[in-house]
Structure 1
Amino acid sequence: MKLVIIGTVASSFFGFRADFIKALLEKNYTVYAFTSEYSNEDLQKIEALGAIPVTYRLNRGGINPLADIKATYELSKKIKDIAPNMVFSYFSKPVIFGTLAAKLARVPKITGMLEGLGYTFTEQPNQVNKKTQIIKKAQVLLYKIALPQLDKIIFLNPDDPRDLLDKYNIKVKKVEVLGGIGLNLTEYPYSNTYPSTPTFIFVARLLAEKGIHDYLAAAKIVKHNYPETKFIVLGTIDKEALGALTPAQLQEFTKQNIVEYPGHVDNVSEWIASSSVFVLPSYYREGVPRSTQEAMAMGRAVITTDVPGCRETVVDGINGFLIEKWNPRALAEKMTYFIENPKAIKEMGYESNKMAQEKFDAEKVNKRLLNILGL
């Protein structure tokens, strides 16, 4: 049996799909991993997993219809040469063009998975710019063409099918909701020892949509009343993204001793282990944020926003708190709660770990996914 998996960035195969690929290999599937952004080292890592890397062309951010039609035709030829039993695509563009290419190649079973609706569907505090509005309209039109061709469409949270399929009246054959894509829990071991100084940690790209500005504003409020409290920021600065945190802004906060920013780190789990509470005030259209799942597995209470994707990680008042988006004051209040009630850090951290074991264990998630795919 042959299975084609179509993604974009090669690192997503060995970073987030490794356990899934291993589960397929155990069932004696031959797995072809299609990637459009890769290095030779990446392809070797995919091979080391036991999958066969196949490269294809797809402009991930572009909106040139002629280039996309040509790329879809070339992709369909590659799929046809393999003649797989199933094509499974994930991420927006592979789901659109991978599905159309698989249909052209007459693949018997075609499935797609959308892990969040992404930037174009993200509600902004200010008006959305014209370019984003145009891209969104084009994306919805392409979804209307591609998604009805799927045998099944999988989402990670229940809000996404409502806000995409129902809102834009997109007809599909079958919808499934998976939950988070899961983690190998052994890589994020539970730790119930916490620093004596309350320490909050933010782990994400330093984008406005991920809530970095709200995190910094809340940290400033809390520091004023509880100067000993620590605030850690882990993530890369994106100089291109609209509204992203600038190096100068970050330097201002570190100079005032409001936050610690160690720069690029490879040992994120160690930083989480040396913190008290994980914070993600994101308003991005997440699937189910992975960084939050990692922190939960390690036994960290969570403060996050009551928005699609993020709300799948917290039962309010049990393993953390859900706050209103764009509200640093509400975030500061919940941070203060943990400072004034240190027992809650441990109690809610324990509940987070329990939840991660139930909902985000890759072994359980992959069994569910294989079941949904009918494999």
Structure 2
Amino acid sequence: MAGIATGYAPVSQMSRLSLIAGYADSLITFRGSLMAALAKSGVSVTATAPDIDAAMGARLRSLRVLPVSLSMQRTGMNPLQDIAYAARLYRLLRKLDTEIILAYTIKPVIYGTLAAWLGRVPRRYALVTGLGYAFTGDRKGMVQRIVSLLYRFALARAHKVFFQNPDDERLFRQLGILPAAVPSVIVNGSGVDVGDYAFKPIANGAPVFLMIGRLLGDKGVREFAAAARSIKASVPFAKFQLVGWIDGNPDAIAQAELNAWIAEGTLEFLGKLDDVRPAIADSTVYVLPSYREGTPRTVLEAMAMGRPIITTDAPGCRETVIDGENGFLVPVKSVDALVGAMLKFIEDPALAPRMGKRSREIAEEKYDVHKVNAVMLREMGIIPGGEENTHA
């Protein structure tokens, strides 16, 4: 393979990997199966993220993973705090004598890759799981320019970059954020354990439309609420359930706005759930009107459990739906189109079970976490093979 990774030590000499994350809960939820696969392959894994508590640490140790809590400013762009975070990463990687890093989400990718480069970590991999606040919506100002410059500087020092959809990869290439010399690979999201998220038949009765996610404007929460309000005016028995939480993101839904939806009866708010499977099992259709994603994990979970999907014809979202087969694609920000798609399931009760069955098939064929992890391990040289999916 032509490119930056050529000439590095063979996999047999690469046994200590640090997984660098920006959010502790994501370690188990999104990377638990990957860490288990790494450990099974003989790799010594350390996982670092802010705010790893005792319970999370115990769960990581059960996977044979060493947890290290490392503070980080998750939102905001205070350069002193970000430099301090990079310095902490540098010291950690040197202390662990890390041989491979895999970083995901914006700040871990930027500062983790740079810290690993300065620390002479032999293999440096980045996973772009979505573009984040700086790139979504209509934001093309100073924040995006700064993030792009930081990304470009860091990714020039990566050996390979993983993307979860082709649109993000194409954008990074077109904008010059990802240098031509650095190989890239598209993987099918984070995958889903189709055994843990087992198929559940859709119950008869009033249709239940479910949305799960952080309560952000860019996730399409307002469009979901507006569609719910419109439909309940003529179909009062339809149910609309929302699972999630408000965090410190600048695009977060205000608590007062959420309270108003609940008070008027538009939405049933279930809060933040440690296990979303009961909510999916009780639902008829899964809805995610997001403006852009890497590949939405909640959609994969709903597909695995046999739920049809309504999502947007947007990067990361459109890959999960074959329009008319396992759900419907609607334009970003179009409440009318969202209402129209929901009404199809209300008017034809046989539609959801038929499309849900197809969702399960696609989840098994394309998004099985073990298949996704095998691609990543091959491309990182952990197991034999790889490079057949590599772009340069």
> TM-score, normalised on structure 2?
0.88
Task: Name the CA distance, whole Å, in 2 between partners of 1:170 and 1:243.
Answer: 26
Would you tell me which structure has more helix in proportion to its own residues?
1
Give 1:320-335 correspondences, 5 Å limit: 320-335=327-342
Tell me what 1:336 maps to. 343
How many percent identity over aligned positions? 37
- Whether the 8 Å CA contact 2:149–2:177 is kept in 1: the answer is no
How far, CA to CA, are the matches of 1:250 and 1:54 in structure 2? 35
For structure 2, which runs of at least 5 residues remain unmatched after alignment?
1-14, 383-392
Is contact 1:297-1:352 (8 Å) kept? yes
Residue in 1 that maps onto 2:208:
199
List aligned pairs for 1:138-287, cutoff 5 A. Answer: 138-168=146-176, 170-171=178-179, 172-238=181-247, 241-242=249-250, 244-283=252-291, 285-287=292-294
Q: Which runs of 4 or more aligned residues in structure 1 lie more than 6 Å from their structure 2 counterparts after TM superposition?
A: none
Contact 1:207 1:243 in 2 (8 A): yes
Q: Return the alpha-carbon distance in structure 2 between the equivalents of residues 37 and 162 of structure 1.
A: 34
SS at structure 2 position matched to 1:205: coil
1:361 aligns with 2:375: no
Q: What's the counterpart of residue 324 of structure 2? A: 317
Q: State the Cα distance separating 1:57 from its structure 2 match.
A: 4.2
**Count of matched residue pairs:** 367
Alignment of 1:370 with 2:384, yes or no, is no
TM-aligned CA distance change 1:261 to 1:60, over 3 Å: closer
Question: Quick check: 1:10–1:43 contact (8 Å CA) kept in 2?
Answer: no
Deviations 1:119-145 (A, max 9, x none): 110024xxx4xxx83222111111111
CA apart distance, 1:114: 0.9
Residue matched to 2:94: 80
| Equivalent AA in structure 2 for residue 223 of structure 1 | K
Give the aligned partner of residue 293 of structure 1.
300
Native 8 Å contact 1:276 1:345 kept in 2:
yes
Q: 1:35 aligns with which of 49, 52, 63?
A: 49
Amino acid at match of 2:136: T
CA contact (8 A) 1:195 1:275 kept: no
**Structure 1 length as normaliser, TM-score?**
0.91
Q: Which residue of structure 2 lines up, in the alignment, with residue 117 of structure 1?
A: 131
Q: Where does the alignment leave 5 or more consecutive residues of structure 1 unmatched? A: none
Q: Distance in 2 between matches of 1:265 and 1:109?
A: 36
Q: Provide the rounded CA distance (Å) in 2 between the counterparts of 1:89 and 1:228.
A: 45
8 A contact 1:156–1:287 mirrored in 2: yes
**Structure 2 counterpart of 1:315, one-letter code:** I
Bigger mean CA offset, 267-276 vs 172-181: 267-276
* Range with bigger deviation, 3-12 or 92-101: 3-12
Q: Which amino acid aligns with 2:168?
A: D
Are 2:18 and 1:18 equivalent residues in the alignment? no
Give the one of 301, 311, 336 matched to 1:304. Answer: 311
Structure 1 CA distance, aligned partners of 2:250 and 2:156? 33
Matched position secondary structure for 1:28: coil
Shift of the 29–322 alpha-carbon distance from structure 1 to 2, 3 Å rule, reads same
| Root-mean-square deviation (Å) | 2.0
2:99–2:123 Cα contact (<8 Å) kept: yes
Letter in 2 for 1:157: N
Aligned counterpart in structure 2 of residue 91 of structure 1, from 105, 109, 121: 105
Bigger drift between 202-211 and 315-324 goes to 202-211
| 2:143 alignment counterpart | 135
